[in-house]
Chains A and B, each alone.
Chain A
Amino acid sequence: MAKAVQLDTGKAPGAGANQKGGTTTKLKNLFSLLVCGSLLASTLAGCSGSSTAQNNTAASGGDDAVTIKVFSNLTDRTSGQGLIEQTIFDAYMAENPNVTIEVEALDDESYKTKFKAYATGGNMPDLVNIWCSPSFLDEVVAAGTLEPLNADDYADYGFTEGSLDGVTYDGQIYGLPRNTDVLGFYYNKDMFEANGVEVPTTWDELLEVAQVFQDAGISPISMDGQDKWPLAHFINCMIGTVKGADTYATMVNSVQNSDYSDPVWNDTISAAAEQASLLFQPGFETTDYATSLNLFVNGQSAMFFMGSWEMSMAPDFEVGYFTMPDFDGDGEGVIGAYNGGGYAVSFSSAVKEEAIALLNYMFEPENWSNLSWKNGVCMSAQDSTQYLTGNETALQNDIINALNNASGITGMTYNDLGDSAYKTLPEDSTAEVLSGMISVDDFFANLQNG
């Protein structure tokens, strides 16, 4: 077993401290909760993949020089997840002097484009980032692009039950999930206080809060509308507060049968389309990820709708977090969460065994799981209760509490439930209906005909 990696940063909260705190039991609840929630995700339809499983024993101790090419979507290598990833790579290279790890990092959208180019050219880098959903994996797995992994290798890794479902095709796993992602609103506590508003618990309250900020000349919610998927997540979260435990089943049913007759669709889409200009910043439909984050961090908006992977943001005001306020006001519902990003090894890699060894090393619990949590970066998809420090930031605690107080999670969004060709349709349509380019009727016509 390799030593735990030390993160080389001063600013990370709680780095180095390792005592177990009172939040342990809460996190245990959280993980049992995730177990229930993710079971829903196991109904995923899978494509047949070439299953030539092989036993991969870690084999990087040889003397031959090995270069492992890594293709990552974490562009910022000096903070957040990128720093954790790089830190683990650096530690691995220090322990295995014969190994050189070359990282190519591109932002999400460029990453997806280049990934397809690699898949087409048959020259995929050795260790790659993936998204654990059909929209990313279906075609890739069917084409045999990814190397099947040996599930037994990860028996002791503490992956929460259900977290491997997204990467499982015909009982064979093709990758490992990186995180448990919770979708919600980061909010500027100082700004909320200065404007005398409280965290909204219902949709109507959210609209009232938005109006207060609009009147004060502040954009209420900063939204990354150019990438479109955050808008789909927003809708998904709204539906989660209505359909509760049935959310995922509703989505799957609608997508597979092109049937959007359940009134929840019309209710949520209509409301979001009607209120988008009240809720989001001007020009949200053309604002990219970085800009939407920067607007919030620089005090230009009161809230920021995004996943829990941004929990390491450190603006000069206090940040809180809440999940989607109850849309139908019945006090019940689930919160938006799923296993998003992850890693896989390329089938055509010439250094397969070494790449798998590196992947396994990354996900040894003391590494990714431990480092990402201790440094307030994100929640791994593994049981990391043992790494609770008691020094979690207020923001981290907000996110844990949001999970603990929820009765379940939504699972994947509707845009991720079909293959990649399908994905553009619901995403484009959602962006178009929320920015007022098409009517709600057109939206459903698009989805039904697609």
Chain B
Amino acid sequence: MHKLYSNKLVIFSLVLPGLLTFLIAILAPIVLSVYYSLTDYSGLGAANFTGLANYAALVQDEVFWRALLNSVLLALGFICIQHPIAVLVAWKLDRLQGKAEGLLRCIYFLPNVISVAVIAYLWKFIYNPNFGLLQKVLELFGYEGSFNALGSGTAIWAVLVVLVWHGFGWGMLIYYTGIKNIDQVVYEAAALDGATSSQTFFRITLPMMKPVIKYNVTLAIISALKQMETVYLLTNGGPGNETQFMATYLYKQASGSYKYGYGNAISVVFIVICLAATVLMNKLFAERKEAV
């Protein structure tokens, strides 16, 4: 091996830009976050060291647990509603062939490229009980009341629908390419054996898709945890705190109530939870892989 390949200066210059952005935009804020989370800093004036008081308060904060629960609910929604449909659609789409295949794939993915700002405002209009699309559709089916989807009790489901609708194409596309990668020979062999199409799906397609499904499920959980923008613009956590997620809650605490220290404590716990979830998913799936 050439000595140039172990030239420290060259190596340093190659990784420096990457490390620098990491330091400035990721590591430094985390360190700062940890520091502020140990203070009663309001965002104004001086910060007093208060130890773990913010964390102690956090454990007892119902809204925080609600936010965490909402993330779990959202992840379940992705995994139990969005993904089964996405797998089935991807499978059917693959067998469709021709122009329709490309067109439909394009349509399914379309909402995904549109800005969440547009999506959130659009759905706010759709959900409006006075003139929204949903209300008009319900009236078409003979419904006489006014249905406020963003109201208490249904708001979290309304948010879920928007997120499932918006992200559907992404999940579908990953499954779709996963299915495309399955060797046609396998299907031909199955057809020769006289397998019906549902048998093919459950006995061949699904098992061969395992790695893709694992990836997609991990992605769903992480994105459920990280959810912020759509919720922020659609409900801002309301009504009450029914649709609060960790990111919207930390934003509300810091920017709404001058609880900057507390907001940072949420940030820190938020990061720990995301790290833990990722590590856990990797462990879980890695072990399975060995078992298979």
Taking Cβ atoms with an 8 Å cutoff, the residues of A that contact B are: 109, 112-113, 116-117, 119-120, 139-140, 142-143, 145, 219, 226, 281-283, 285-287, 291, 295, 300, 419-421, 423-424, 428, 431-432, 435-437
Q: Does B239 count as interface, using CB distance less than 8 angstroms? A: yes
Evaluate whether A139 and B44 lie within 8 angstroms (CB atoms) in the complex, with A282-B148, A283-B146, A435-B239 already known. Answer: yes
Q: Which 7 A-B pairs have the closest CB atoms?
A: A283-B148, A282-B146, A143-B44, A120-B43, A283-B129, A286-B150, A282-B129
Q: Does B142 count as interface, using CB distance less than 8 angstroms? A: no
Residues B260 and A120 in contact, CB atoms below 8 Å apart: yes
Residues A117 and B239 in contact, CB atoms below 8 Å apart: no
CB neighbours of A421 from chain B (8 A): 257-259
CB neighbours of A145 from chain B (8 A): 44
Q: Which of A281, A424, A428 makes the CB contact (< 8 A) with B130?
A: A281
Taking Cβ atoms with an 8 Å cutoff, the residues of B that contact A are: 42-45, 128-131, 145-146, 148, 150-152, 155, 235-236, 238-240, 251, 254-260
The A-B contact count (CB < 8 A) is 84
Residues B150 and A432 in contact, CB atoms below 8 Å apart: no
Complex: how many Å from CA A206 to CA B260?
44
Residues A286 and B258 in contact, CB atoms below 8 Å apart: no
Q: Which of A286, A291, A424 makes the CB contact (< 8 A) with B151?
A: A286
Q: Which of B42, B152, B236 makes the CB contact (< 8 A) with A436?
A: B152
CB distance from B286 to the nearest CB of A (A): 41
Q: Which of B45, B130, B257 makes the CB contact (< 8 A) with A142?
A: B45
A-B contacts besides A420-B258, A431-B239, A432-B239, 19 pairs, CB < 8 Å: A116-B255, A120-B43, A139-B258, A219-B130, A226-B236, A281-B129, A283-B146, A285-B152, A285-B238, A286-B150, A286-B235, A286-B238, A287-B128, A295-B130, A420-B256, A424-B257, A431-B238, A435-B239, A437-B152
CB neighbours of B45 from chain A (8 A): 142-143
Complex: how many Å from CA A137 to CA B90?
56
Complex: how many Å from CA A283 to CA B135?
12
Complex: how many Å from CA A109 to CA B232?
12
Complex: how many Å from CA A424 to CA B45?
21
Residues A291 and B128 in contact, CB atoms below 8 Å apart: yes
Complex: how many Å from CA A300 to CA B135?
15
Complex: how many Å from CA A117 to CA B257?
11
Evaluate whether A437 and B238 lie within 8 angstroms (CB atoms) in the complex, with A282-B148, A283-B128, A420-B258 already known. Answer: no
Residue of A nearest to B234 (CB): A286
Q: List 5 A-B contacts (CB under 8 A).
A: A116-B256, A120-B44, A283-B146, A285-B239, A435-B239
